[in-house]
Amino acid sequence: MELINWNDFQKVQLCVGTIVAVDAFPEARKPAFKLTVDFGKEVGMRRSSAQITEAYTEKSLLGRQVLAVVNFPAKQIGPFMSECLVTGFHREDGAVVLAVPDSQVPNGTRLA
């Protein structure tokens, strides 16, 4: 494991946002959803491709708050431009579960 210093960590902007739209992503190589996430006034709306179809349905994701890296450059994923990285953890079966706050916080709140 490579150690980082505090300045390295401060460069990563991890913010909470609310999923406001979920679309199928049939063109993806691995099953995924296209998410639209509201990060509040400062960051705004961002879109992300997320391989979370094993643990979630489109309906279960709407309105859910998530933790995402919002200061990566946009990345082309097939025909889709991903603008943030929604974070999660791999279960033993390989499915990804989302990293989420355990109570509601304002959109755009940065990880402390």
Quick one: pLDDT at residue 112?
86
Quick one: pLDDT at residue 83?
98
Quick one: pLDDT at residue 100?
97
| Residue 55, Cβ density class (10 Å: 0-12 exposed, 13-18 middle, ≥19 buried) | middle
Residue 104 lies inside a defined structural domain of this protein: no
Spans of the chain below 50 pLDDT: none
- Look-up of token digits 């992300």: 48
Structural domain including 45 reads: 12-98
H-type alpha helices, 33-74 = 40-43, 58-61
CATH number at residue 59: 2.40.50.140
Residue 27 lies inside a defined structural domain of this protein: yes
Q: Taking the model in full, what pTM does it have? A: 0.94
Residue 48 lies inside a defined structural domain of this protein: yes
Compute the Cα dihedral for 36, 40, 44, 48 and give only its sign.
Answer: negative
**How many independent structural domains does the chain possess?**
1
Residue 3 lies inside a defined structural domain of this protein: no
Compute the Cα dihedral for 92, 31, 103, 75 and give only its sign.
Answer: positive
